[in-house]
């Protein structure tokens, strides 16, 4: 049995430029394709046979929804092969949580799918690249990794794609699950231990598998002191079919934004109310919010709420169905 490996670039694929360069390597360091990355770190071959699947390398900030669709289709196809037991995808950490969440909802397979990144490139002091890669393949090869959707493995922790977020810029523990904590860990003897499994729909139980259609435009609007409707109206003019409004905790907006949201809803735009706080839901029980037609985000981060709204709109769901989706996923 083999594990498929898809390299998409990022720090984990960067050779680096100097032992103490933790910053500038992104612009001047050499990025290795997947086969070169495996050649530099051959230890993965001791865990399982590996089949490299070509995809192309880029910095994660350049990842697009069109490439998400290509990646989801590639994974669904590769994992349908009986000789493949799971897949590892290396990815830059800047947008890793978004790619993981999209794949969590769109790949039609119960086999392990592990995304992995790094905070320090290969030749820098204290690089986390080798261990993170090894751990990703260990998790992909573990029988308990089946049927739990997409996971993210970094810093010896196993995170659900739904829960994980990048909470620091350069620290090795930048990828965390702030609300629920990780699904499990890898111990010092390299054994894998799971503490819990995801409870929300994903992969084979998702309504969005085998999507195959471009995602509609959905934008995010943030609340801040003196925020007016300029950005929201610009997004509408650009063709947004949905909006995620990121409110003050627990999900409130300035008066100009409230008025602009009401106008957008009246014109048929679906608006999801989110909060910039990590913990607890953006509660919609306050008087008038449901009646105004907003959709409650739940406890997803705003960027993940945006992706879920894109998927729901791509399926041509109405507001009632979208509310159900946000209450379920």
Enzyme catalytic residues: 11
The token duo for 136 is 């990703």
Q: What is the largest CA-CA distance in the chain?
A: 60
| Nearest one of 115, 112, 121 to 1, comparing CA atoms | 112
- C-alpha count within 13 angstroms, C-beta hemisphere, residue 107: 31
Q: Kindly tell me the number of DSSP H helices and DSSP E strands found in the chain.
A: 10, 14
Instruction: Report the alpha-carbon distance of residue 209 to residue 79 in Å, rounded.
Output: 14
Instruction: Report the alpha-carbon distance of residue 108 to residue 96 in Å, rounded.
Output: 19
Interior angle at CA 297, CA 295 and CA 302, nearest 5? 125
Instruction: Let me know if 213 is exposed, middle or buried by CB neighbors in 10 A (0-12, 13-18, 19+).
Output: exposed
Secondary structure class of 229 (helix, strand, coil) = coil
Torsion of CA 159, 312, 235, 253, to 10 degrees: -70
Contacts of 62 (CB under 8 A, 6+ apart): none
Contacts of 230 (CB under 8 A, 6+ apart): none
Secondary structure class of 77 (helix, strand, coil) = helix
């Amino acid at each position: 049995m083999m594990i498929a490996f898809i390299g998409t670039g990022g720090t984990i694929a960067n050779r680096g430029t100097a032992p103490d360069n933790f910053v500038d390597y992104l612009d001047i360091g050499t990025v290795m394709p997947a086969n070169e990355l495996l050649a530099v770190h051959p230890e993965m071959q001791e865990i399982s046979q590996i089949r490299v699947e070509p995809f192309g390398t880029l910095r994660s900030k350049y990842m697009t929804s069109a490439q998400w669709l290509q990646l989801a289709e590639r994974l669904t196809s590769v994992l349908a092969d009986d000789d493949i037991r799971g897949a590892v995808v290396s990815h830059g950490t800047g947008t890793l949580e978004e790619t993981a969440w999209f794949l969590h909802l769109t790949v039609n397979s119960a086999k392990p799918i592990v995304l992995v990144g790094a905070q320090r490139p290969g030749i820098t002091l204290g690089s986390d690249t080798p261990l993170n890669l090894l751990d990703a393949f260990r998790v992909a090869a573990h029988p308990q990794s089946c049927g739990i959707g997409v996971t993210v493995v970094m810093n010896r922790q196993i995170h659900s794609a739904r829960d994980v977020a990048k909470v620091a810029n350069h620290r090795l523990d930048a990828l965390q699950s702030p609300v629920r904590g990780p699904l499990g860990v890898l111990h010092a003897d390299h054994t894998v231990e799971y503490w819990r499994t995801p409870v929300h729909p994903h992969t084979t139980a998702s309504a969005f598998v085998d999507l195959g259609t471009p995602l509609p435009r959905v934008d995010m609007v943030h609340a801040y002191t003196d925020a007016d409707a300029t950005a929201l109206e610009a997004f509408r003019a650009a063709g947004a079919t949905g909006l995620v409004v990121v409110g003050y905790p627990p999900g409130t907006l300035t008066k100009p934004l409230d008025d602009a949201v009401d106008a957008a809803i009246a014109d048929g735009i679906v608006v999801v109310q989110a909060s910039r706080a990590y913990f607890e839901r953006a509660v919609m029980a306050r008087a008038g919010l449901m009646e105004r037609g907003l959709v409650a985000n739940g406890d997803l981060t705003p960027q993940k709420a945006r992706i879920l709204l894109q998927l729901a709109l791509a399926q041509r769901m109405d507001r009632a169905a979208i509310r159900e989706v946000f209450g379920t996923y």
